[in-house]
Structure 1
Amino acid sequence: MPRGTLEVVLISAKGLDDNDFLSSIDPYVILTYRAQEHKSTVQEGAGSNPQWNESFLFTVSDSASELTLKIMDKDKFTEDDSLGEANIHLDPVFEEGSIPETIYKVVKDEEYCGEIKVALTFTPEKNEERYVDQGESYGGWKESSEEF
């Protein structure tokens, strides 16, 4: 069961469906891992090829192994539109420690509608017991026994 911190670097997207009638889309991403959610900045007027270069941290404390990236279009006067989503399986990053920049398919209604580029790093929680020095230099049992 992995425990630690997952860093998600949201880099860019490409080929998103630019469905705004009079202007370019204003994309942003909602990143979800279990009950934790982060939202990227809105790339106003970026159209179908936005660049974010933002990092997000998630706490990993159980065996949930999927990250969801929901790409949205920010609208001023109506509800924001969904442009699609990408689901990333995290088992490889838990095993390897990091996954370099990788392109994932963005899907909406089971149809391909662009791609998103993400890098992932998993830092395991340090197990305190492994790092306790058992030597004499830190005042263990041997040092205190000389006083008696």
Structure 2
Amino acid sequence: MPRGTLEVILISAKGLDDNDFLSSIDPYVILSYSGQEHKSTVQEGAGSNPQWNETFLFTVSDNASELNLKIMEKDNYNNDDNIGEAIIPLEAVFEEGSLPENAYNLVKDEEYCGEIKVALTFTPERNDDQSYNEEEETGGWKESASDF
């Protein structure tokens, strides 16, 4: 299983259900991966097409293979409302190293409710045990070559 750092760039969302009666919705995102959680800033009055452009880092050290993004609507008087959720499989970013900006469907109660745009980068942990000293590796060759 890969070990390293997962960088999530939260870019924007669109097509969110703007169901506030008196004003536009104030969305934010809860990002969770393998027991770690981050929360984006609240985009006050952003309505159905918020923009964040925020970066979050997660430590990858176990076999968790999904990133969960939950868009919430900040509510000053009641509990915050769940607008929708996207689950992003991470196998491709672990293999490729990065995935460019991409839109993922948001779902609530098994129904499409907008999309969220993110970019992902995975930086593997550098293992000093696996690194090698190039001089040691070729040292024997250089010495034997000079004898001829």
TM-score with structure 2 length normalisation?
Answer: 0.89
1:141 aligned partner: none
User: Helix, strand or coil for the counterpart of 1:95?
Assistant: helix
CA distance in 1, matches of 2:128, 2:16: 45
CA distance in 2, matches of 1:124, 1:2: 7
2:2 aligned partner: 2
Q: CA deviation at 1:131?
A: 2.6
Q: CA deviation at 1:19?
A: 1.0
1:144 aligned partner: none
1:78 aligned partner: 78
Q: Which runs of 5+ in 2 are unaligned?
A: 137-148
Aligned length: 136
Q: CA deviation at 1:65?
A: 0.3
1:133 aligned partner: 133
2:120 aligned partner: 120
CA distance in 1, matches of 2:59, 2:110: 30
Residue type matched to 1:108 in 2?
Answer: K
CA distance in 2, matches of 1:129, 1:81: 48
CA distance in 1, matches of 2:106, 2:56: 19
Residue type matched to 1:55 in 2?
Answer: T
CA distance in 2, matches of 1:130, 1:78: 53
1:93 aligned partner: 93
Moved over 4 A (4+): none
TM-score with structure 1 length normalisation?
Answer: 0.89
Residue type matched to 1:48 in 2?
Answer: S
Q: CA deviation at 1:26?
A: 0.2
Aligned residues with identical type, % of pairs: 76
- How big is the alpha-carbon RMSD for the aligned residues of Structure 1 and Structure 2? 1.0
CA distance in 1, matches of 2:81, 2:23: 14
Q: Structure 1, residues 74-127: CA drift from partner, whole Å, max 9, x if none?
A: 011111000010000000000100000000000000000000000000000001
2:107 aligned partner: 107
The residue correspondences of 1:9-24 to structure 2 (distance < 5 A) are: 9-24=9-24
Q: Which runs of 5+ in 1 are unaligned?
A: 137-148
CA distance in 2, matches of 1:123, 1:14: 29
CA distance in 2, matches of 1:130, 1:82: 45
CA distance in 2, matches of 1:134, 1:44: 55
Q: CA deviation at 1:130?
A: 2.7
1:143 aligned partner: none
Q: CA deviation at 1:132?
A: 4.2
